[in-house]
């Protein structure tokens, strides 16, 4: 597999350090927020994830204004003339006998990296001093080859492969204060717009396969709108409506460097160009040692069908692996089983793809889930039953095909329960939003502080469990997951 040779030398941990703007632009929007031209009262922009474990004293300063038009290099061209083999955009990563992964990535680059711009040069210098700022080695090996294959399949510039490094350092659990989640940092509204589920069972923004498809769909839509990849990137970060208005103000021939954008968006694009320049020529920027070990096969995943909803502990037993391994490779999963409505599949090690598919298919139907029968007593509600079983109302409705939440005393309900004690699943499941001891429904006058104190929790723990940012507003009737203490 031509992707099998990427970046084994990059090491380090922590999250990409990016300063949030001190004075946020009044019209800036969350990362990935689609903003129609006629939208008013738009939300503020999310800052890129901040590495709490590292300092920001050596981070590059804000980019200076330089009204220089950036031109893309032959969007219809294939590999550069100096490339060792001739490749078109769709096959840049698919010939292991003649080209390695990093070479394939380099040959797929098509944008002007603008390394002579001071703002891009500062980003290059910042990363060159600490190559581990790119992403953790294990994440690069696990996720970047997959992202690059999907980018190549669509004939997009190879630079787009590096965007999730800018967004999240390839961390599926990255979470911004504005509520953006996953390696592509989708906010809920944009995620749902592109078909990603966010519910009790899963948060598909953390699903690398589904979120990558959604992000590339969005980027293609933005490129079709603006006809320029840098403007598409600006739209992904700042909102397409704002970019359109900025272009109207700047004139018909304006490019990204001709329009006025917030500092965060300027740094966002500069950083992607800087990363692209570094990957294009590691030796030039003194980081060849970090990208030198390119021979071994990286850890990679494969997608296998489960044949229906399955308890993750049962799946782990069938696959002969730890439950932790299931959660690690499937970060979108919040609970003890896959989603009842699908997709019915799991990510496993590529090396075990054939045996894993067979093992999962052979799990007997009666063993896929554990069920209990519950007798409804007078005055009992579906939400109370769900809370008692650490389940959800929607799960009980789906399992029992209930048209509404109304139940009658004397009825029996089938309740899907976990194969092992829930605490064992909670030990491995991330983030805290995936571990719930119950649900709290917000009432008039409630604040996060009051709710946390009443439940005996720390305010930050409750906010993290529900992915609530410091500026988010609670809504009456909103359901909050109560994390285990």
Q: Domains of the chain: which residue ranges? A: 1-294, 301-367, 431-485
* Residue for token pair 């001891």: 437
CA 173 – CA 237 distance, rounded (Å) = 19
CA 324 – CA 244 distance, rounded (Å) = 45
Given a contact cutoff of 8 angstroms between Cβ atoms, the answer to whether 177 and 471 are in contact is yes
As given in the structure block, the two tokens for residue 186 are: 């989708």
**What are the pLDDT tens digits along the chain (485 aa)?**
444 433 333 333 333 333 333 333 333 333 333 333 333 233 333 334 333 333 333 444 433 333 333 333 333 333 333 333 333 443 344 433 335 778 888 999 999 999 999 999 999 999 999 888 887 877 888 898 899 999 999 999 999 999 999 999 999 988 887 788 999 999 999 999 999 999 888 999 999 999 999 999 999 999 999 999 999 999 999 999 999 999 999 998 999 999 999 999 999 999 999 999 999 998 899 888 776 654 344 547 999 999 999 999 999 999 999 999 999 999 999 888 999 889 999 999 998 998 999 999 999 988 898 778 889 999 989 888 888 887 788 878 887 888 888 888 988 888 877 766 655 565 555 543 444 556 788 888 888 888 888 777 888 888 887 878 777 788 888 888 877 65
Contacts of 388 (CB under 8 A, 6+ apart): none
Instruction: Give the Å distances, CA to CA, from 211 to 31, 126, 208, 470.
Output: 14, 29, 5, 25
Would you tell me the crossing angle of helices 208-226 and 229-238 to the nearest 10 degrees? 120
Q: Give the dihedral sign, CA 407/413/414/417.
A: positive
Its pTM stands at: 0.68
| Backbone dihedral region for residue 218 (phi beyond 0: left; psi -120 to 50: alpha; all else: beta) | alpha
Name the DSSP class of 166: H
pLDDT of residue 45: 38
Q: Among candidates 450, 420, 434, which has minimal Cα distance to 482?
A: 434
pLDDT of residue 95: 37
What three-state secondary structure class fits 104? helix
Q: Is the peptide bond before 431 cis (omega within 30 degrees of 0)?
A: yes
CA 351 – CA 66 distance, rounded (Å) = 49
| Active site annotation includes 167 | yes
What three-state secondary structure class fits 201? coil
The architecture (CATH level 2) of 431-485 comes to Roll (3.10)
A 10 A CB-CB count for 306 gives 22
Instruction: Give the Å distances, CA to CA, from 222 to 33, 202, 270.
Output: 12, 27, 18
What three-state secondary structure class fits 219? helix
Q: Which runs of E-coded beta strand occur in 286-427?
A: 301-305, 345-349, 370-375, 412-417
As given in the structure block, the two tokens for residue 251 are: 């004139």
Contacts of 450 (CB under 8 A, 6+ apart): none
* Annotated active-site residue in 167, 204, 240, 264: 167
CA 234 – CA 260 distance, rounded (Å) = 11
Given a contact cutoff of 8 angstroms between Cβ atoms, the answer to whether 329 and 312 are in contact is no
Cα 450 from chain centroid? 31
């Amino acid at each position: 597999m031509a992707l099998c040779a990427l970046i084994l030398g990059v090491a380090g941990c922590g999250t990409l350090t990016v300063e949030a703007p001190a004075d946020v632009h009044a019209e800036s929007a969350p990362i990935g927020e689609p903003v129609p031209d006629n939208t008013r009262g738009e939300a503020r922009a999310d800052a890129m994830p901040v590495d709490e474990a590292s300092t920001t004293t050596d981070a590059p300063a804000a980019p200076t204004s330089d009204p220089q038009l950036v031109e893309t290099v032959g969007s219809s061209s294939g590999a550069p003339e100096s490339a060792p083999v001739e490749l078109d955009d769709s096959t840049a990563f698919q010939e292991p006998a003649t080209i390695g992964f990093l070479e394939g990535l380099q040959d797929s680059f098509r944008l002007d990296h603008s390394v002579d711009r001071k703002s891009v040069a500062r980003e290059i210098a910042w990363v060159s001093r600490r190559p581990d700022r790119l992403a953790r080695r294990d994440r690069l090996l696990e996720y970047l080859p997959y992202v690059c294959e999907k980018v190549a399949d669509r004939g997009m510039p190879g630079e787009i492969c590096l965007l999730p490094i800018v967004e999240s350092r390839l961390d599926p659990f990255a979470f911004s204060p504005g509520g953006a989640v996953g390696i592509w940092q989708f906010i809920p509204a944009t995620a749902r717009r592109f078909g990603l589920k966010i519910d009790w069972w899963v948060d598909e923004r953390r699903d690398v396969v589904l979120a990558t498809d959604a992000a590339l769909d969005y980027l293609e839509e933005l490129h079709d709108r603006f006809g320029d990849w840098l403007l598409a990137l600006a739209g992904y970060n700042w909102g397409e409506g704002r970019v359109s208005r900025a272009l109207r103000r700047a004139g018909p021939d304006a490019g990204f460097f001709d329009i006025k954008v917030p500092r965060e968006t300027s740094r966002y694009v500069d950083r992607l160009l800087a990363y692209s320049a570094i990957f294009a020529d590691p030796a030039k920027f003194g980081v060849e040692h970090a990208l030198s070990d390119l021979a071994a096969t990286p850890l990679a995943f494969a997608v296998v069908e489960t044949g229906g909803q399955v308890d993750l502990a049962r799946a782990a037993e069938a696959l002969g692996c730890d439950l932790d391994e299931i959660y690690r490779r499937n970060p979108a999963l919040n609970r003890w089983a896959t989603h009842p409505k699908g997709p019915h599949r799991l990510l496993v090690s590529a090396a075990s793809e054939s045996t894993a598919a067979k093992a999962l298919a052979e799990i007997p139907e009666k063993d896929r889930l554990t069920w209990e029968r519950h007798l409804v007593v007078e005055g009992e509600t579906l939400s109370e039953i769900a809370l008692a079983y650490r389940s959800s109302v929607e799960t009980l409705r789906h399992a029992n095909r209930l048209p509404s939440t109304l139940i009658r005393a004397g009825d029996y309900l089938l309740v899907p329960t976990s194969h092992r004690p829930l605490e064992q699943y909670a030990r491995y499941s991330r983030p805290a939003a995936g571990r719930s001891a119950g649900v709290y429904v917000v009432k008039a006058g409630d604040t996060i502080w009051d709710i946390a104190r009443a439940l005996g929790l720390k305010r930050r723990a409750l906010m993290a469990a529900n992915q609530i940012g410091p500026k988010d507003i609670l809504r009456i009737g909103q359901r909050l997951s109560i994390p285990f203490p």
